[in-house]
Every structure is written in C-alpha cells, then in structure tokens.
Amino acid sequence: MDIDLITNILYATIRTGTPLILVAFGEMVCEKSGVLNLGQEGMMLMGAVIGFVAAVTTGSLFIAILMAIIAGILMSLLFGFLSITLVSNQVASGLALTIFGGGLSAFIGANYVGIGIDGIQPLAIPLLSEIPVIGKALFQQDPLVYFSFFMFALLYFVLTRTRVGLKLRAVGENPEAANSMGIHVHGVRYLAVMFGGAMAGLAGGYLSLAYTPLWSEGMTAGKGWIALALVVFASWKVGRIMLGAYLFGVASIMHLILQGTGYEISPSILAMLPYVATIAVLVLLSSNQTKAKLSAPMSLGVPYRPQL
C-alpha cells in the first residue's frame, strides 16, 4: 500500500463516518433524556429528500441544509407528540416514524430521482490541509465534517460540564426525581427529541447534498439503524461514538481498500460488512449484561406521565 492509498482511505473513512456521527449524537442526547427514538431512518430520509428538493429548487446549499434540519425536527415532533404527550409505546412509535418517513420521502422525491446537483464542496484549511497523510482526511473536508468535530467538542462539554447536561441526564435516569427538583420533564424530553431530529435531518442532508449529491429512494440504507447500534456500542459516550463511527466508516469502504490491494470480492458481499460489524459489536457489548445496564440511562424507553 502506498501513501496515497492510505491518505484516501483515511479521507473516505471520515466522510463515511460523518453522517453516522451526526445521527448517533442526536440519538444519544435523545436517549440520555430517556427517550428511545427508533425513527432515525425516517427522519434521515426526510432530511435527505427535503434538503435535496430545496437545493434543486432554490439553488442554495445553505437553505438546503437548513431545510433538511427543519424537516428532521418536524418529523421528530411527530414522534415526540406520540411518545411523550400521548405516552405511546416508544418502540412502536419509532417504527411508525421510520415507515412513515420512508413512504413520505419516496413520495416527495419521486420526481427528483436521477437529477444531479453540485454538492457541498470540500473546504481546505490553509496549511493544516497540507500535513502529509492526515491533512487531507482532517482538514480538506466539507464544512459538515468540521461541524461534526465541533459538535463532538460541544456535546462533550455540555454533557459533562454544564447544568444543562446534568438536567438532561437527571430526566433520563429518574424523571420522578427530576420533576420533584422542578425540572420540566416533558419539556426536556421534547427538546432532546427535537435535537435528535435536527441531527438526523442534517445527516440525511449530508448524504443527499455532500456524500452522494443525488436523491434515491431509501438512500440511507440502514445508517439510522447502525447509528442506534453505535450509541449502544459507545455506552452513551461522545468520544466512543466518534471512534465507532469511523470504524463503521472503514467497514463501509472496504471495497476501496480491497481494490487497492488487488482482491476481488462481490460488492454485495462487501456491502454486508457494516451490518455484520454492527451485529458483532452488539454481541461483544451486550454479553456483559451488568455493564450494558450500568451505562444505559435508567429510564430509557419508559414513558413518563406526570401525576397532576
């Protein structure tokens, strides 16, 4: 393997890992508040299609990204209304969101299949991007990749160092106690769900505007589900989400690596890798029951209904 290949693998790994990081961050915050939203796939697809349609109609990538985020938030509000206000089963509501988002996005995007746009272009940071090997991977990416780095720092700080993070965790661990402390449990959960929606919408937008600038039905291909597994894998820790997402990134671009080294394997077989990796990770992690239980928010998936 030569240096160019390694550089390109690193570059592609980060690009592939970024949408996973964005969704997984959103879902992690959501789960920290005690809400399990299985609708990531639906929110991502809506973000992807709305972002793409906005890009085609307005020609502005900035508006497109904004619309993708708004689409994600609106979808998450649907879920929030069902699971928080109407105390529905979170598993079923999340599945409903995924099915609904899949249908709605395919419907909206039906006339936009096969259209190409100029996607979000990489933005090289002077000097830093010229560092050998890692320069291209870290500092010659598009703005959303930098945004994922920024979110990592922000979330790490907010979750571990601020009152906001403390409140979020209190609501997820023990909503009754949080309520008696004067925290508005439903309010916090709504905000967390909306943050999750915004991030999933953004990740969808990243796929249709930067990663592969086009729209195709079901283009997220299970990335929302992989992100859900990633949160478990990361034991709800931001740093491990970054690490995990890049590991999945490597698994997803295995074809690139293998081509470089001269092996020939069917692309369909290689496409299985990220899913197999997800299962492997779940197995490794869940076998240790006590540890898995300790790191998960205590009230994850349990609806909270204030007694008035």
| 235 is a contact residue toward another protein (CB under 8 A) | no
* Binding to another protein, residues 49-78 (CB under 8 A): 78
Based on the shown chain and the rule CB under 8 A, indicate whether residue 118 belongs to the binding site for another protein.
no
Q: Binding to another protein by residue 294, rule CB under 8 A? A: no
Site for another protein, residues 177 to 206, rule: CB under 8 A: 177, 179-180
Q: Residue 170 and residue 218: Cα distance in Å, rounded?
A: 36
Q: Is 272 in the site for another protein (CB under 8 A)?
A: yes
283 lines the binding site for another protein (CB under 8 A): yes
Q: Is 222 in the site for another protein (CB under 8 A)?
A: yes
The answer to whether 111 contacts another protein (rule: CB under 8 A) is yes
Among residues 176, 212, 294, 298, which is the contact residue for another protein, using CB under 8 A? 176
The encoded tokens of residue 53 equal 């349609």
Dihedral sign for Cα 182, 184, 188, 189, please: positive
Residue closer to another protein, measured from CB, 134 or 292: 292
The answer to the question of residue 286 lying near another protein (CB under 8 A) is yes
- Kindly state the smallest distance separating residue 162's Cβ from another protein, in Å: 26
Q: Is 92 in the site for another protein (CB under 8 A)?
A: yes
Cite the DSSP H helix spans in the chain.
3-32, 40-58, 61-80, 90-109, 134-139, 143-161, 163-173, 175-180, 185-206, 223-233, 238-252, 254-261, 267-271, 273-286, 289-295
Q: Which is closer to another protein, CB of 13 or CB of 93?
A: 93
Task: Return the biggest CA–CA distance within the chain.
Answer: 67
Q: Are 183 and 164 in contact (CB under 8 A)?
A: no
Nearest to 15 by CA among 189, 253, 243, 276: 253
